[in-house]
Amino acid sequence: MWTVIYIASDKETALKVEEAIRSEGFLVATREVMKSKRHGCYIEVIVPESEAQEAQNVILEKNL
């Protein structure tokens, strides 16, 4: 099962977070969850549930 560990408000941020997590050896994916002309889009960064805590620690350590 996949778990959301970060929600980005733009693609640039989502890709930055995804790359940081992937560079540490984690399996990571993104998925667009809302798209509108008014609000743009939100992108979830997701990892397997078993890796969620460790991947979230990467985000905190890298100040993303």
CA–chain centroid gap for 50, Å, is 15
More confident residue, 61 or 36: 61
Give the span between the Cα atoms of 50 and 28, in whole angstroms: 12
What pLDDT is recorded for position 41?
84
CB 49 within 8 A of CB 1: yes
Q: Look up the pTM and report it.
A: 0.88
Tens of pLDDT, residues 7-56: 998 899 999 999 999 999 999 999 998 776 776 789 999 999 999 999 99
Fill in the amino acid letter for 48.
P
* Residue 60 banded pLDDT, cuts 50, 70, 90: very high
Domain 2-61 in CATH: superfamily? Hypothetical protein rpa1041 (3.30.70.1530)
Per domain, the residue ranges of the chain are: 2-61
What does 19-30 look like in DSSP terms, one character per residue? HHHHHTT---EE
For residue 35, the model assigns a pLDDT of 72
d(CA 40, CA 31): 14
